[in-house]
Amino acid sequence: MKRLLLMAFVPILLSVTAWGQDEKIVSGKVTSADDGMGLPGVNVVVQGTTKGSTTDTEGNYSIQLAPAENTLVFTFVGYKTVTVDVSTRTTADVVLEADVTSLEEVVVVGYGTQREKDLTSAISTIKTEDIVKTPTGQAMQALQGRVPGLQIVSSGQPGVSPTVRVRGVGSLPRKDADGNPLNTEAPLYVVDGMFFDNIDFLNPADIATISILKDASAAAIYGVRAANGVVLIETKTGKINQKAQITYDGYYGVQVAQNVVKMANSEQFTNMALESGSPSDAAAIANAMQRYGRSRVNPNVPDVNTDWYDEILRNAPIQNHSLGVTGGGESTTYSIGASYFAQDGILDTENDFERFTLRSRIDYQANNWLKVGGNVNISNATKYGQDVVAQNGEAWKIAYFAPPVMPVIDEANDDAWPTKYASAQDIGYRDGKNPFPVMDFNRNKLRQKKLLANFYVKVDLIPDKLSFQTTYNLGSTFQDERNVDLPYFLSSNAQTANSAIVKKSETFFNQIWDNVLTFDQAFGNHFFTVMAGTSFRDEAWDMLEARGEDLFTPGQEKSWYIDQANEIKADDVGDDAYRNYGISYFGRISYNYSDRYLLYATMRADGTSKYQEKWGYFPSVGVGWVISEENFMSDIGTINFLKLRGSWGRLGNDKIEATSGANVLTLPTTAIDETLVTGSLSELTFGYLRWELTEEWNVGLTARVFNDRLSLDADYFVRDSKDAAIPVRILTGDTGIRSQGIIRNSGVEVALNWNDNLSNDLTYTIGVNFATLKNEARDLYGLSYIDGGQAEFLQRTRVGDPLLAFYGYETVGVYQNTAQIEADPVATALNAADPEGDAIVPGDFIFNDVDGDGAITGDDRVILGSYLPSFTYGVNLGASFKNFDLSVNMMGQSGNKILNRKRGEIIWTPDGNMDADLAKNRWHGEGTSNKYPSSAGLRKGWNQRMSNYFVEDGDFFRIQNVTLAYNLQGERLGEKIPDARISFTAERPLTVFSYNGFNPEVPDGVDTQTYPIPAIYTVGLSVKF
């Protein structure tokens, strides 16, 4: 109606101005890009004059212009300034975009907010626009390469969260009994006030902001939970007096396997087998030729050349759709939404992830002193796959080692059922080596229902000064795992005779009750905010599992229940639980003297039932000096803002598993006279832990220069984890966790952003960020080293070196001929001692005799490198031209090493395939290779010892994301059409690295075959009604 009136009115105005000689009136409406609503109070100034006007409550303006006045400048606090040429028109509707670089912006800091310019600590915030660019079900994946000091290690398996590390690793990563990582290094996620270990249940499009509290001073308010950094997540909310806005966001795309590792083909494999010196391997090739024929190209190679990765990979779809309604009335704001995400795995079998979420957030100002609100987020996810919990599917491993001289299907394998898959046993190997049975006959499913709910009551005790808020948060997960093994037969050593089913039900029920009192006061130029609060936590988990064998009708999915099994294994019934309580008292003072001097202090006391030592105390302080507010700086016009920051804080790490502090009994079973009996044992070692404390210094600089076009944030930090929990090994190979050292992470983080307009239509941004990291064991409390990793692939934590550094021998080449061996005292001595005199032959590695004692001994081992990158960087480019915008993000890392554990598998079983690089570049005669040993050498203990042959560079560079979008706005046929944005995204289209594996992103640096990380190409549509 109003629009109609306006439209009727404008021509009248125009006619009036036309009549008034050359003077004209320009009018229009100013709206916010955020929500499309009119913006009241926007300054509209004629460029080069002081003549101006402001918009009315609806955002409308009109201004009379002299003939030479052709340009209008629209400015509004918190929004980017827009300049419009009106020389040829009389209406100019303007959309103002929020100024994301604005320092006025408010940042969440935990139990409260702060203006960004008041911060004394290192906090990085990422907004929804940047999060939704990445097509992923896991919001944290979108942060890869965007925040210096934040390492994201992606996972390709649908539904699996990436590994997230804030400023290195201070605590030794550990795995549970099944080999799954315990995520002891993971940061704390706080979603609208509730604590989570991961945020796989959130629809990324529902997130308004993600803030990374990087330094100890920022995180210390979360005390015992904060040692690995804190990630604060705020979900979207409505605004007061905002018209209801209906939004659809969605994309559909395809995932394509990238950098598939090239495996040896049949010919290379045959050469390797024949050169191995192992008659049984040569016989297997002969058997393959007999069974499958001889190649016409090379009659000495079997007529099969299976590329197993090609067989098990596929292109897989990914899609997300979310629908939301946000808005607000005079006293209520709301945001309600639903989303559906589905991702198939690139492994060509049932391994998809599906998630449905619902959310509702409502805040209600009941009266002038009482506000209440509620927030509910429900997610229902189902994950299928051969390995639904861990990241490493068996199929990937089997495909890696599967011999290329064998087909997928072998019609001659008459005994096989239900599918005639080929078995390597039929050509002489120990077992089947065909990845298809585990893909077909392991039918596993994980259902996860997660609920986040919180409700608060906020009471203003003294208006605008003192308020009290009590919040109840609930985070719960209901999880059902169902793993079914169906019977099959390939050959006698590749079969599952009996079907089996394992069911596991888990419930996590975590509650937090926070009570917070906040006091704001200003005396002249002194501004205080004081906060004090208590928090009570109750974390409960329980689990029940059972295993049944021999299902009555295994073919029927509806009968996959324990009840339908003939035998229920008493031994495999599991029942477990934990319940941890925590009580905390905390407070914060922030003080600001005329925006120039800043002081910040927090204190938290945490009590926990988890450790032997019940209470921990976590203080922090921060100071800031806004130099640009000083009088002497006022003349330096290019510097808009300059702040020096410094902070110190102490944090605790309660991700460390609860320890018993005493020997715990276990109840083993055994057979005595055909009866199952149960005994008791007390574990040989136990953990005893003090609090793992992290203390961190951070100094930083924040600057905005050249009219806010260039922003700079730089930080230097030193973070010490004291009494770090470290598994200490005993001679049985078991470990007990002890508070056994000080681990230091230190580094520099820099983020630079430049944005500018080249013309009214063309704007661009350039962002560069990088971080260095030095990880080091400072002290191991009397020990000079602690060994970890596998005994055969040792990772040693040594004082002065990085945590769990790869430790072994250094190869310096390959012996090329007998003369070279005879000239080498090490080899000569060994051959003399060997009765056959062939301990060392050409094609064997030459190791560096570090101590020069003429023999390769344990003393010749050296640190071979760390799995943590020492340098990470990101480059983010953006440009928008008229209705198009383009963004390109790149990232990379260097300085880390990867243990190519797949090549190491030969130590245990040598009858598998190998990567083509190894097969091609093997030593097979003088001068053929100085890098890899001969095929026979690969099987020798001499060459199999842990060395830099197994440890490769993990450096990589990646084009992370390219998004091109077209924005559609305005009217068509006189009707306002909905704002729409069509986007094309290429996620990870290019990764460059030298490592001989699928991808250089290996969370713990030990590559036993992770799920490959695909490139994703999507088309997206976003519509606002």
Among residues 149 and 587, whose Cβ is nearest to another protein? 587
Stretch that binds another protein, among 155-163, 724-732, 864-872, 951-959 (CB under 8 A): 724-732
Burial class (CB in 10 A: 0-12, 13-18, 19+), 60: middle
Paired with 143 in beta bridges are none
DSSP state of 307: -
Q: Which of 16, 68, 570, 968 binds another protein (CB under 8 A)?
A: 570
Place of tokens 């191995």: 276
Footprint (CB under 8 A) of another protein, residues 439-468: 457, 459, 461, 468
Contact string (CB under 8 A) for another protein, positions 367-396, x = contact = --xx--------------------------
Q: Tokens 């574990």 correspond to what residue?
A: 683
Q: Is 8 exposed, middle or buried (0-12, 13-18, 19+ CB in 10 A)?
A: exposed
Cα angle at 523 between 522 and 526, to 5 degrees?
Answer: 75
Q: Whose Cβ is closer to another protein: residue 340's or residue 541's? A: 541
For the CB of residue 190, give the shortest distance to another protein in the complex, in Å: 20
Measured distance CA(359)–CA(237) in Å, rounded: 11
Rounded distance, CA 83 to CA 105, Å? 23
Nearer to another protein, 281 or 810 (CB): 281
498 touches another protein by CB under 8 A: yes
- Separation CA 759–CA 82 (nearest Å): 11
Distance in angstroms (rounded) separating the CA atoms of residues 551 and 487: 10
Q: How far is the CB of 916 from another protein (least distance, A)?
A: 21
Find all residues with CB under 8 Å of 456, minimum gap 6, and list them: 193, 372, 373, 374, 469, 470, 471, 472
CB 96 within 8 A of CB 79: yes
Question: Do residues 950 and 897 make contact, with C-beta atoms less than 8 angstroms apart?
Answer: no
What part of residues 848-887 is at the interface with another protein (CB under 8 A)? Answer: 857-858
Taking CB under 8 A as the criterion, the residue among 16, 244, 246, 730 binding another protein is 730
**Applying CB under 8 A, does 566 fall inside the site for another protein?**
yes
Of 478, 536, 617, 697, which one interacts with another protein (CB under 8 A)?
Answer: 536
Residue among 57, 670, 970, 971 that touches another protein (CB under 8 A)? 670
Asked if 684 is part of the footprint of another protein (rule: CB under 8 A), the reply reads yes
CB of 669 to another protein, least distance (A): 6
Nearer to another protein, 460 or 715 (CB): 460
- 612-641 footprint of another protein as x/- string (CB under 8 A): --x---------------------------
**Rounded-to-integer distance, Cα 208 and Cα 859, Å:** 55
Stretch that binds another protein, among 593-601, 624-632, 790-798, 979-987 (CB under 8 A): 790-798
The only residue of 279, 782, 970, 974 in contact with another protein, by rule CB under 8 A? 279
Cβ-based nearer residue to another protein, 249 or 281: 281
| Identity at 341, one-letter amino acid code | F
Q: Are residues 814 and 846 in contact, defined by beta-carbon separation less than 8 angstroms?
A: yes
Q: Give the pair of three-digit tokens for residue 139.
A: 């919001």
Question: Rounded distance, CA 781 to CA 799, Å?
Answer: 10
How far apart, in whole angstroms, are the C-alpha atoms of residue 457 and residue 357?
A: 26
Based on the shown chain and the rule CB under 8 A, indicate whether residue 568 belongs to the binding site for another protein.
yes
- 281 within 8 A of 292, measured Cβ to Cβ: no
Q: Does 794 bind another protein (CB under 8 A)?
A: yes
Rule CB under 8 A: which of 504-533 touch another protein? 513, 515
E strand or H helix at 2? helix 2-19
Taking Cα atoms as reference points, which of 202, 235, 125, 215 lies closest to residue 168? 215
Please, which of residues 537-556 interact with another protein by CB under 8 A?
Answer: 538, 549-550
Q: Does 759 bind another protein (CB under 8 A)?
A: no
| Integer Cα distance of 365 and 472 in angstroms | 18
* Comparison of 507 and 880: residue with beta carbon closer to another protein: 507
Can residue 780 be called a binding residue for another protein (CB under 8 A)?
A: no
Contact between 794 and 807 under an 8 Å Cβ cutoff? The reply is yes
- Under rule CB under 8 A, residue 57 binds another protein: no
Q: How far is the CB of 685 from another protein (least distance, A)?
A: 6
Contact set for another protein, span 819-848 (CB under 8 A):
834-836, 839
Using the rule CB under 8 A, which residue among 283, 758, 762, 819 binds another protein? Answer: 283
Nearest one of 424, 398, 341 to 135, comparing CA atoms: 341
State the minimum distance, in angstroms, from the CB of residue 223 to another protein.
Answer: 14
Report d(CA 815, CA 792) in Å as an integer.
24
List 371, 433, 645, 939, residue binding another protein (CB under 8 A): 939
Strand 188-191 with 230-235, pairing: parallel
Longest dimension (CA), the chain: 115
With CB under 8 A, what is the number of residues at the site for another protein? 108
At closest approach, how far in Å is the CB of 815 from another protein? 18
Least separation in angstroms between CB 607 and another protein:
5
CB of 551 to another protein, least distance (A): 10
Instruction: Tell me the window of 280-288, 373-381, 692-700, 703-711 that interacts with another protein (CB under 8 A).
Output: 280-288
User: Of 906, 984, 995, nearest to 955 (Cα)?
Assistant: 995
231: DSSP letter = E
Residue 54: CB atoms within 10 Å: 14
Residue 912 beta carbon to another protein: minimum distance, rounded to whole angstroms = 11
- Among 5, 12, 791, 973, the residue binding another protein under the rule CB under 8 A is 791
**Least distance CB 731 / another protein (angstroms):** 5
Stretch that binds another protein, among 100-108, 759-767, 783-791, 963-971 (CB under 8 A): 783-791
- For tokens 């060392």, name the residue: 840
Chain positions 583 to 612 lying near another protein, rule: CB under 8 A, are 583, 585, 607-610
Interface residue with another protein, options 15, 315, 331, 492 (CB under 8 A): 492
Q: Which two tokens stand for residue 105?
A: 């912006």
DSSP assigned state of 803? T
Residue 946 makes contact with another protein by CB under 8 A: yes
Backbone φ and ψ for 19, nearest 5 degrees, come out as -70, -30
- Pick the binder of another protein from 463, 524, 733, 927 (CB under 8 A): 733
Contact between 77 and another protein per CB under 8 A: no
Closer to another protein at the Cβ: 415 or 761?
415
Look at strands 494-496 and 488-491 and give their pairing. antiparallel
From residue 296 to residue 325, the character string flagging contacts with another protein as x (rule: CB under 8 A) and all else as - is: ------------------------------
Residue 772 binds another protein, judged by CB under 8 A? no
Handedness of CA 67, 70, 74, 75 (dihedral sign): negative
User: 357 and 323 in contact (C-beta within 8 Å)?
Assistant: no
In this structure, how many other beta carbons lie within 10 angstroms of the beta carbon of residue 575?
9
Site for another protein, residues 230 to 249, rule: CB under 8 A: none
Q: Which of 350, 787, 905, 917 binds another protein (CB under 8 A)?
A: 787
* Backbone phi, psi, residue 858, to 5°: -55, -25
How many angstroms from the chain centroid is the CA of residue 867? 16
Beta strands in 758-836 (DSSP E): 762-772, 774-779, 785-790, 793-798, 805-808, 811-814
Site for another protein in 343-372 (CB under 8 A): 369-370
| Cα-only R_g, the chain | 32
Minimum CB distance to another protein smaller for 89 or for 430: 430
Nearer to another protein, 440 or 792 (CB): 792
Q: Of 248 and 472, which has the nearer Cβ to another protein? A: 472
